């Protein structure tokens, strides 16, 4: 590897004036096409739920039973645990935090009155989770994400020590961006947590439970049950969504929780909305029919997604020894770890050659990666040939960043 | 009118063991049927917006241009004034107040830090507006609703006197429940208000702009423009919805506001959601085509709704001299004013004979009607023959309540 040839290759790529984007976890049009029949599901002859409710009209604040049933089966819960939301689970999370800040958790002391509230944030993590915390002035405490989930020694120590620590973000399956699946032991340790704050809530964003690539779906312990067995029934709030199953902009979301928590959520919802879109729920139910229908659909999706991950992963092979990256078995992202101090420069070099990747630091609270090394690759939106070009640029950028650093070390000594 | 015959008539009605409901402004199934073709609008061959955006995917936080265009035409605004929301304009209002409480208006001092914030509430008014205020601990200050809108002398005095008065609820067209349309003079006086609070906001819930019964659509002054002319560009937040145009549970909502306010709203939305359901917007656009399509649809709807209002109004004629009621030319409600102290008893007597009407007091903040006299009748959901039965019961209940009161006065003297 020498500076001149690497620089030359990078300049060649640059001269192609490409415009590529692997920055967001956005399904590709080929994925969306698989759900197209849902666009023409006619409900004209049957717009009623199994409950008999006319889905066109007002009512049904918690969603229609058959949609709750599908979520329940996917999540390994009971339909009665589930409240259906609108088209975005992000909204459900945002609204919980907004409600807790102003009204407290289940009529407890509002968070904003308690002082500088904090959340535990396993890193690298999901930028939109961090964005919500930042918006609500919730201080974020980063802890390390391991291959088996959050560093539980750190989590246990923190939650026991500070009653202002009110929450923790978790993406238990195919975590964003590392792709790890929390181990059973990690999940059981989470369920056994003894938070100092009685109003501590686990924000369990189970965004990818059925998003495996071909192999068996991961089966994780039921967090609601595990928490309940440990006297923590009210601790978890479980979020899920069809965003990456049907249409991202027009999906159905859900939150699952204990009776106490559901009561609190419904109290808020009864003031906030006339209820979620039941016609869209019905459309999903008619198209997917049941959980098995979802699994079959996900198999088809994985046949589109996995080859894209394979392109990225095999391209990265030429960086062996230079960097490390995750090899996820599902989900939407690959986590790439460069040498310390190189991430920003890699992003810059990529941009220079026409490739947009997720900003350096984005996987950290406040966009601050203290070692400037962690990046996220989102392979789904680009087409295969674009992805190959994108990875050419990415790999050239990584190599160039290393060489530049070595050159600068040499010249300064 | 004698006690015995009225009581006898009431008991006869009671013996029929009816179960009727005129409590909520819920469209009847016959109204919804008119939108049924929307259930089978196929988008399979065209899921892109005029902007070229793939409506199935993420993106487009402010909605698709053609949907903004239809709202703009209906409201007499520019498409650029409009941000599209989800299926419920209530949600847009709730979220504004939630945001203002926690984050302040456009990054000003959060309301919760300023003290006991207050809203002006013209009464009788809409119970869900009052419910939002109550949920956020916003003190409600009732002022009288006249035939031409809120009592503006009272409003002007109040907003100038107290910097904790942060908002006013307005339903300018076919107000809920009186059905009045604000006069041009009222609207211009509102636009000229000089609130002591710089972060005072007008919650302009224009829920029924095209909901006229056959006669010409009411044309009211453009509140955004009028406010702008008076140095109050940032004062109004205009809300609108297709809830009572297409399907109540699956409609499209919108908020219109100044550049400053839109910026604040979008900042919140960018943290809260992946964007509103663009497929549902597209479905509305393909079905209604444009504002003229909406007007034509509303004409058809009014041919269903007006006869129901006529049934109620002609039934009420037999109460001439006993009570007063509104004779709206559009909207969803009739306001009924009984003698002082009779409203609760009328509701009770109705319930006793199998008729549910909106609770006494519901049209007042805190459900407290100081003179216990104002009721709301919602004629749309029931079928014509049910409505006739319902009005039989209602009129009997009103008469009985009067007679009971006269008897009790007699017996106490």
Q: What is the DSSP string of A103-122?
A: H-GGGS--HHHHSS-EEEEE
* Mean pLDDT of all residues in A51-70: 96
Q: What is the CATH number of the domain that holds B383?
A: 3.90.1150.10
Q: Do A132 and B29 touch (CB under 8 A)?
A: no
**Do A59 and A20 belong to one domain?**
no
Whether residue A412 is predicted with pLDDT greater than 90 in this model: the reply is no
Domain-terminating residue out of B290, B319, B336:
B290
| Chain B neighbors of A62, CB-CB under 8 A | none
Residue A285 lies in a domain: yes
Whether residue B136 lies within 8 A of chain A, CB to CB, comes out as yes
> Are B323 and B264 found together in one domain?
no
**Candidates A39, A104, A131, A268, partner chain B, best to mutate (most B CBs within 10 A):** A39
Residues B91 and B114 in one domain: yes
Please give the pLDDT value at position B225. Answer: 97
Task: Say whether both B13 and B148 belong to one domain.
Answer: no
> What is the model's pLDDT at position B214?
79
**Where a domain ends, among A290, A322, A340?**
A290
Residue B260 and residue B315 in one domain: no
pLDDT of residue A41: 86
A102 touches chain B (CB under 8 A): yes
**Mean pLDDT, residues A119-129:** 98
Residues of A in contact with B276 (CB under 8 A): 87, 249
Q: How confident is the model at residue B1 (pLDDT cuts 50, 70, 90)?
A: low
A275/B58 Cβ within 8 A: no
Average pLDDT over residues A139-148: 98
Which chain A residues contact residue B87 at CB under 8 A?
86, 273-274, 276-277
Number of helices and strands (H, E) in chain A?
14, 13
Task: With respect to residue B194, please indicate whether it lies within any of the assigned structural domains.
Answer: yes
Ranges A272-276, B42-46, B321-325: which has the least confidence: B42-46
Cβ–Cβ of B277/A250 closer than 8 Å? yes
Q: Which residues of B touch A243 (CB under 8 A)?
A: 274
Set of chain B residues whose Cβ sits within 8 Å of the Cβ of A280: 250, 277, 280
- Residue B179 φ/ψ region, left for φ over 0, alpha for ψ in the -120 to 50 degree band, beta for the rest: left
Summary mean pLDDT of chain A:
96
pLDDT at residue B409 greater than cutoff 90: no
Round to whole Å and give the CA distance between A395 and A96. 41
In this structure, are A7 and A83 located in the same domain?
Answer: no
Nearest neighbour of A29 by CB, restricted to B54, B112, B248: B54
| pLDDT beyond 70 at B362 | yes
Instruction: Provide the pLDDT confidence category of residue A214 given band limits of 50, 70 and 90.
Output: confident
Q: How large is the average pLDDT for residues A325-341? A: 97
The alpha carbon of A315 is separated from its chain's Cα centroid by a whole number of angstroms, namely 24
In the numeric block, which tokens belong to residue A164?
A: 């202002």
Separation between Cα atoms, residue A358 and residue A371, nearest integer Å: 17
Asked whether the beta carbons of residue B57 and residue A86 sit closer than 8 angstroms, the reply is: no
Asked if A77 reaches chain B (Cβ–Cβ under 8 Å), the answer is no
Q: Give the gap in angstroms from C-alpha B116 to the nearest C-alpha of chain A.
A: 14
Q: What is the pLDDT of residues A248-274, one digit of tens each?
A: 999 999 999 999 999 999 999 999 999
Residue B139 lies in a domain: yes
Same domain for A197 and A115?
Answer: yes
Q: Does A53 touch chain B (CB under 8 A)?
A: no
Question: Is residue B30 situated within a structural domain?
Answer: no
* Window 148-207 of B, Cβ < 8 Å to A: none
What are the φ and ψ backbone dihedral angles of A184, each rounded to 5 degrees?
A: -55, -40
Phi–psi pair at B227, nearest 5 degrees: -65, -40
Whether pLDDT at B408 is above 90: no
What's the confidence (pLDDT) of residue A173? Answer: 98
Inside any domain, residue A118 = yes
In a domain, A222, yes or no: yes
pLDDT value of residue A236? 98
- Spatial separation of the C-alpha atoms in residues B1 and A313, rounded to whole Å: 89
Per-residue model confidence as pLDDT tens digits over B187-196: 999 999 999 9
Domain stop point among B258, B290, B322: B290
Q: What is the pLDDT of residue B80?
A: 97
Predicted confidence (pLDDT) at residue A312 exceeds the cutoff of 90: yes
Asked if B62 has any chain A CB less than 8 Å from its own CB, the reply is no
Distance, in Å, from the CA atom of B286 to the CA atom of B279, rounded to the nearest integer, reads 10
Query: For residue B172, what is the enclosing H or E element?
Result: none
Task: Give me A102's structure tokens.
Answer: 């102003």
Q: Is residue B304 part of a domain?
A: yes
A38 located within any domain: no
Tell me whether the omega of the peptide bond preceding residue A177 falls within 30 degrees of 0, making it cis: yes
Q: Which chain A residues contact residue B271 at CB under 8 A? A: 94, 128, 131-132, 135
Which chain A positions have a beta carbon within 8 Å of B301's beta carbon?
none
CATH number, domain with residue B126: 3.40.640.10
Q: By three-state DSSP, how is residue A206 classified?
A: coil
Cβ atoms A143, A123 nearer than 8 A: yes
For residues A83 and A9, state if they share a domain: no
Same-domain pairing of A266 and A302: no
> What residues does A144 pair with on adjacent strands?
A123
Closest chain B residue by Cα to residue A59: B249
Please compute the mean of the pLDDT values over residues B352-371 and round it to a whole number.
Answer: 97
Query: Scanning every residue of chain A, which has its alpha carbon at the shortest distance from the alpha carbon of B275?
Result: A249
Please report residues of B whose CB lies closer than 8 A to that of A27: 57
pLDDT exceeds cutoff 80 at B413: no
Measured between CB atoms, which of B29, B39, B60 is closest to A43?
Answer: B39
Mean pLDDT of B213-240: 96
The answer to whether residues B261 and B313 belong to one domain is: no
Residues B194, B237 within the same domain: yes
| Domain count within chain A | 2
3-class state of residue A137 by DSSP: coil
Residues B314 and B269 placed together within one structural domain of the fold: no
241-280 of A, contacting B, C-beta below 8 A:
243, 247-250, 268, 271-280
Q: What is the pLDDT of residues A348-387, one digit of tens each?
A: 999 999 999 999 999 999 999 999 999 999 999 999 999 9
pTM beyond cutoff 0.95: yes
Q: Does B58 touch chain A (CB under 8 A)?
A: yes
Domain that holds residue B198: 45-290
Nearest residue on chain A to B107, judged by CA atoms? A135
Q: What is the mean pLDDT of chain B?
A: 96
* pLDDT over threshold 80, residue A9: yes
The Cα-based distances of B136 to A253, B119, B189 in angstroms read 25, 11, 28
Cβ burial A342-374 (10 Å sphere, 16+ → b, else e) = bbbbbbebbeebbbebbbbbbbbbeeebeebbb
């Amino acid at each position: 590897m020498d500076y001149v040839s690497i620089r030359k290759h990078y300049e060649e790529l640059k001269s192609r004036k490409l415009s590529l984007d692997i920055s967001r976890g956005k399904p590709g049009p080929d994925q969306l096409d698989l759900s197209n029949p849902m666009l023409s599901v006619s409900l004209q002859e049957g717009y009623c739920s199994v409950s008999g409710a006319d889905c066109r009209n007002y009512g049904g604040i918690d969603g229609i039973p058959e949609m709750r049933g599908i979520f329940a089966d996917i999540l390994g819960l009971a339909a009665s645990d589930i409240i259906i939301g609108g088209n975005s689970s992000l909204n459900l999370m945002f609204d919980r935090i907004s409600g807790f800040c102003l009204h407290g958790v289940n009529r407890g002391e509002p968070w904003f009155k308690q002082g500088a509230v904090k959340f535990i944030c396993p890193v690298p993590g999901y930028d939109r989770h961090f964005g919500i915390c930042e918006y609500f002035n919730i201080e974020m405490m980063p802890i390390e994400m391991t291959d088996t989930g959050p560093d539980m020694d750190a989590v246990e120590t923190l939650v026991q020590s500070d009653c202002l620590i009110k929450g923790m973000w978790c993406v238990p399956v195919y975590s964003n961006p590392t792709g790890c699946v929390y181990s059973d032991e990690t999940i059981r340790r989470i369920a056994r947590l003894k938070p100092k704050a009685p109003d501590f809530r686990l924000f369990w964003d189970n965004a990818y439970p059925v998003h495996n690539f071909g192999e068996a779906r991961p089966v994780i312990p039921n967090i609601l049950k595990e928490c309940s067995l440990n006297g923590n029934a009210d601790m978890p709030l479980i979020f899920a969504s069809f965003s990456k199953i049907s249409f991202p902009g027009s999906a159905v979301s859900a939150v699952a929780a204990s009776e106490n928590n559901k009561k609190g959520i419904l109290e808020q919802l009864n003031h906030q909305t006339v209820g979620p879109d039941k016609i869209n729920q019905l459309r999903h139910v008619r198209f997917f029919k049941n959980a098995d229908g979802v699994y079959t659909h996900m198999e088809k999706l994985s046949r589109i997604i996995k080859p894209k991950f394979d392109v990225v992963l095999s391209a990265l092979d030429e960086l062996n020894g230079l960097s490390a990256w995750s090899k996820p078995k599902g989900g939407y992202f690959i986590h790439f770890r460069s040498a310390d101090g190189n991430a920003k420069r890699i992003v810059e070099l990529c941009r220079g050659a026409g490739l947009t990747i997720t900003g350096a630091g984005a996987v950290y609270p406040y966009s601050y990666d203290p070692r400037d090394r962690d990046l996220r690759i989102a392979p789904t939106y680009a087409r295969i040939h674009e992805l190959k070009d994108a990875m050419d640029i990415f790999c050239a950028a990584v190599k160039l960043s290393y060489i530049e650093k070595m050159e600068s070390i040499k010249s300064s000594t």
